[in-house]
Structure 1
């Protein structure tokens, strides 16, 4: 049996949930994993709930994370935490917007990348693959601000884990 890492990314339409899942899936693929991804758009165009499942490992058969089996639940909007909590396995890791200090981000649109930075501390993907995936999935004019957001999220998560 091969280990598959299950990640659910959730938030509201317009927050970059799908872009975050694209970056994660790309980074995992670049790191040599088999990757499957699934999206649930809901009412994304109206700010409704949006979620995306990303699964990666040696061999992945299904794109859907079974209920209660997410290793990581990354949530961009606090109101979506309880809605999506049932996807998280016992002992799984919840990463929410509270990982960052209020006002820490220069651009709120980079929250998705900042939380990927936080997730990078617990996912087995080399940092250079994260950056390659970001560059491939974001316009060049957004690279610098998102590099900063990723580093901020990563530092905040490492600081929090050392405090625990």
Structure 2
């Protein structure tokens, strides 16, 4: 048994899958963890399936999450849930766009950051490291809207955990 956390982020091209994985990898690194990341691009840049594996822990030897071993599967597009479900381990955590209430986001382009906010509630990475990573990976003009989206995702995850 290793102390490596396996996360797969999946969606469609143009949804910010790769940016979300950059933020996650950066946050884990800032938390003092060894991090490895890999990406799989689909048939087209925009609209094709895209996924990114992020593994972190005291020591990580490979960037790829083996099938059935993802601790967390974060999916930005509902159509990609079943396609990517086999990567999730038994009792793994699935975080999808249904975490947020319809119309909750002011800007739909912030969905990736909102879902990172939800995921931040289940990963042992300090909130400060998440926010610092977000600021480092996004243009300054996007900080405020994404800060709001991140907080919205955290609140939605907390509400969901309390309800169920």
Scaled by the length of structure 2, what TM-score is found? Answer: 0.98
Change (3 A) 1:44 1:124: farther
The one-character-per-residue Cα deviations of 1:66-125 (angstroms, maximum 9, x if unpaired) are: 000000000000000000000000000000000000000000000000000000000010
**Which residue does the alignment assign to 1:162?**
162
Question: Which runs of structure 1 show a deviation greater than 6 angstroms over 4 or more consecutive aligned residues?
Answer: none
- In structure 1, C-alpha distance between the alignment counterparts of 2:46 and 2:69, rounded to whole Å: 29
Q: Which runs of 5+ in 2 are unaligned?
A: none
Name the SS of the counterpart of 2:157 in structure 1. helix
Alignment of 1:52-67 (within 5 A): 52-67=52-67
Name the SS of the counterpart of 1:147 in structure 2. helix
Scaled by the length of structure 1, what TM-score is found? Answer: 0.98
Change (3 A) 1:44 1:54: farther
Alignment of 1:2-151 (within 5 A): 2-151=2-151
Shift of 1:44: 4.2
Change (3 A) 1:163 1:131: same
Shift of 1:43: 2.5
- In structure 1, C-alpha distance between the alignment counterparts of 2:113 and 2:73, rounded to whole Å: 14
Q: Which runs of 5+ in 1 are unaligned?
A: none
- In structure 2, C-alpha distance between the alignment counterparts of 1:139 and 1:157, rounded to whole Å: 26
C-alpha root-mean-square deviation of aligned residues, in Å? 0.7
